[in-house]
Amino acid sequence: MEQRFYSTNNPGHKVGFKEAVFNSMPLDKGLYMPEEIPELPAGFLENIDQYTLKDIAFTVAEAFLKGAIPAEDLKLIVDDAISFDAPVQLLDEHTGVLELFHGPSLAFKDFGARFMSRVMGYFMQEGEKTLNVLVATSGDTGGAVALGFLGVPNTQVTILFPKGKVSPIQELQLTTNGQNIRALEIDGSFDDCQALVKQAFADTELNERFRLTSANSINIARLLPQTFYYFYAYAQLKRQGIKQVVFSVPSGNFGNIGAGLLAWKMGLPVTRFIAATNINDTVPEYINSGVFNARKSVATLSNAMDVGNPSNWVRIMSLFAGDRELLKKMVWSQSYTDEQTRDAVDAVYQRYQYIVCPHTAIAWRAIEDYRREAQDEQSFAVFLSTAHPCKFPDIYDERLAAAIEIPDQVNDLSSKLKQVDTLNAEYDTFKKYLLDA
């Protein structure tokens, strides 16, 4: 029987995977979640160290999507989308880093964006209305989505990013694609960009005119493939004799850690999750005080985490049936300033001769603080490296900057022509842009 997906705002509203992917967000403004957390095949976790990343990705995807996509077609989608590695580098006897920046846009979001674009392409029927993909980005999402959908037939992608709040390389990744990719620079914050996209999905006129969907982590097809690398990280650790792990996740819109918690619900042996944020501390404040105070985001060095009202938090709360005390047993959270972020970048380099991006630095720093507070020095901890350090050149001193290897695709960006439109953060302006375009 095919998996169904319910709205977090109305559990009685259930749809199949195809509808959840293309509608992205229900009209009740909830988010789609799987009705049942699937059981993995017997012996899968016991023998996971014998599987490749693609083997693991297919097994997990098939468990979720059985009945929605035939196995042979799903295998082709996975093989095409997951075409790069996600290695765990062991830094010392109790610490490792999961490198998620080996995809085409040099960020972890390549996993979700490439899988989603292939799924959408698979479901698209000849002669159907052009698919209009709207996506808000605080940094890396846009580049991953742009490369994931570039040249995909019968699709038009519109990427909204906050003016002056993405790094120069991130901006080039958003604005130099052309073809079916449009870049919109919004004079506001990421939260403004996200609000514009959400309002568009609830707009009856736009939905009658266009076939709208999202490529943000609000789309369930972005979330599911992010579970793959948690299982793969465990497979690599198991080969080293490590059978229990703490994951520290740099968190902004909370899709990444949400996928990890979904993997845990499927049976992945995780001791604890650490939600590490910058000073946009809505979630740490809620976990520690019980008050969820959504607010305007503040710009930081770790710009992809500059989110004041994280959309995916409702998904995480649904996994814990809204019980904060239950959540606190599994999720520890802390926030960090830019000064602490810079200090962490230097500390990681001094200790391991390893260079991290600002988001990754926060995740490492959170492990150090968690160990002290929880008095847990022995658990093996893995922090997620979500982006290549070359994307954030302004945060490094000359010594570290000189040590960063610049990938070829970054060097090629500077020779490309930027194509970008600038709008204010008013919804009427954005709606007119879409209708006129």
Element (H, E) at 313: helix 313-319
pLDDT digits (tens, 9 = 90+) for 328-376: 999 999 999 999 999 999 999 999 999 999 999 999 999 999 999 988 7
Residues near 213 by beta carbon (within 8 Å), at least 6 away in sequence: 21, 22, 23, 24, 120, 131, 132, 133, 134, 219
3-class secondary structure per residue, 29-47: CCCEEECCCCCCCCCCCCC
Element (H, E) at 236: helix 226-239
The pLDDT of residue 297: 87
Report the pLDDT averaged over residues 67-75.
94
pLDDT band at 90 (very low <50, low <70, confident <90, very high): very high
pLDDT digits (tens, 9 = 90+) for 110-156: 999 999 999 998 998 766 788 899 999 877 788 888 888 888 888 89
Compute the distance between CA of residue 23 and CA of residue 181 in angstroms, rounded to an integer.
20
pLDDT band at 76 (very low <50, low <70, confident <90, very high): very high
The pLDDT of residue 326: 96
Place of tokens 């990681």: 348
Report the pLDDT averaged over residues 53-69.
94
pLDDT digits (tens, 9 = 90+) for 261-288: 999 999 999 999 999 999 999 999 999 9
Name residue 248's beta-bridge partners: 274, 383
Report the pLDDT averaged over residues 415-437.
92
Read off the tokens for 339: 């000064």
Contact, 385 vs 357, CB < 8 A?
yes
The pLDDT of residue 126: 64
Element (H, E) at 348: helix 338-352
Report the pLDDT averaged over residues 78-107.
96
pLDDT digits (tens, 9 = 90+) for 376-420: 777 899 999 999 999 888 899 988 988 998 888 887 877 888 899
Does residue 90 sit in helix, strand or coil?
strand
Burial of 408 (0-12, 13-18, 19+ CB in 10 A): exposed
Sign, CA torsion 421/31/300/349 = negative
Query: CB neighbours (10 Å) of residue 85?
Result: 13
Element (H, E) at 205: helix 204-209
Contact, 29 vs 202, CB < 8 A?
yes
Q: State the pairing for strand pair 181-187/155-162.
A: parallel
What is the residue-wise DSSP string for 401-425?
A: HHHPPPPHHHHHHTTSPP--EEEES
pLDDT digits (tens, 9 = 90+) for 219-249: 899 999 999 999 999 999 999 999 889 999 9
The pLDDT of residue 9: 93
Burial of 402 (0-12, 13-18, 19+ CB in 10 A): exposed
Report the pLDDT averaged over residues 204-225.
88
Name residue 156's beta-bridge partners: 132
* Long-range CB pairs of 8-16, under 8 A, 24+ apart, other chains included: 8/32, 8/33, 8/314, 8/315, 8/318, 9/314, 16/68
Report the pLDDT averaged over residues 247-263.
96
Residue length of the chain:
437
The pLDDT of residue 67: 86
283 alpha-carbon distance from chain centroid: 16
Which phi and psi (to 5°) does residue 60 adopt? Answer: -70, -45
The pLDDT of residue 393: 85
